[in-house]
A and B are shown apart, each in its own frame.
Chain A
């Protein structure tokens, strides 16, 4: 039993380490900002997720108590990571790309950085 728990915890720690490493390597290897943006979104999901699962198992089976903190870290990560990524993407778009570099929206209005929103707001 002890061996199994230890093995599982070590397994999740190693998995998260590998994904953290690959994510960091991606930051070095990929070419432009938009491509590099994909690397940290990976490190925050499986990279951090593995450590959190390992930590949860440790507290449940070794310390004999349940800890809510891992759940909260997951929640906060899922709330904040997409917003940071979105900010970086928008800043990059604003600084380096023009409307003609992007695909059409397929709607009457263009992308929000380059086009004004409809004047009267539809009732939502």
Chain B
């Protein structure tokens, strides 16, 4: 019963908080409306998201976000340097296939998003069985290094969080 009303408790909580943030004023009326949205939206979307992801180590989520934010800043500067100071003929773009150990769809989604948000790499496609991800690299002379860094920096942490 509780499962029926709250198919995704975390999503319900997030929606309520997002609503309160959107109206930017915490009043009783807004809170009621936010909670209502937090109940209705997950129930209506539950058919498209049947299984509930499990977050094993919530504290690691904060660590992961800090690591990603830092990487975004560093990689932004690197890509800006590539765009400004490298001649087009010196930019070696490569496709890199990254084999995945993650199996949970939510974890793979987060990984793909992370790869795209850190500039210099864009995730393009999964293999048909979801066991590898195709990454486009703006400039690299060392595809294996890129692959190993994605696996060591992001995938290992996501594995600890989700699995």
Measuring CB to CB, which residues of chain A are less than 8 angstroms from any residue of chain B? 18-19, 22, 25-26, 29-31, 34-35, 37-39, 41-42, 45-46, 49, 67-69, 71-72, 75, 78-79, 81-83, 85-86, 89-90, 93, 101-113, 115-118, 124
Q: Are B116 and A46 in contact (CB-based, < 8 A)?
A: no
Would you give the 0/1 interface string for B1-34, flagging 1 where the beta carbon is closer than 8 Å to chain A? Answer: 0000000000000000010111010000000000
Minimum CB–CB distance from A6 to chain B (whole Å) comes to 23
Q: How far is the CA of A124 from the CA of B54 in the complex (A)?
A: 13
Instruction: Given A30-B88, A81-B116, answer yes or no on A38-B122 (Cβ-Cβ < 8 Å).
Output: yes
Interface of chain A: mostly helix, strand, loop or mixed: helix
Asked if residues B125 and A112 are in contact (CB atoms below 8 Å), the reply is yes
Instruction: Determine whether the beta carbon of A29 is less than 8 Å from that of B97.
Output: no
A-B contact pairs, 16 of them (CB 8 A): A22-B83, A31-B88, A34-B124, A42-B80, A45-B117, A49-B72, A68-B22, A72-B22, A93-B125, A103-B96, A105-B132, A106-B99, A115-B128, A116-B128, A117-B129, A124-B104
Given A75-B18, A103-B97, A106-B97; A37-B125 close (CB under 8 Å) = no
| Inter-chain contact A38/B79, CB cutoff 8 Å | yes
Chain A positions within 8 Å of B113 at CB level: 78-79, 82-83
Question: Does B103 make an interface contact (CB < 8 A)?
Answer: yes
Q: In the bound complex, do residue A104 and residue B119 qualify as a contact, i.e. CB atoms below 8 Å apart?
A: no
Describe B's contact surface by its main secondary structure: mixed
> A75 to chain B: which residues have CB within 8 Å?
18
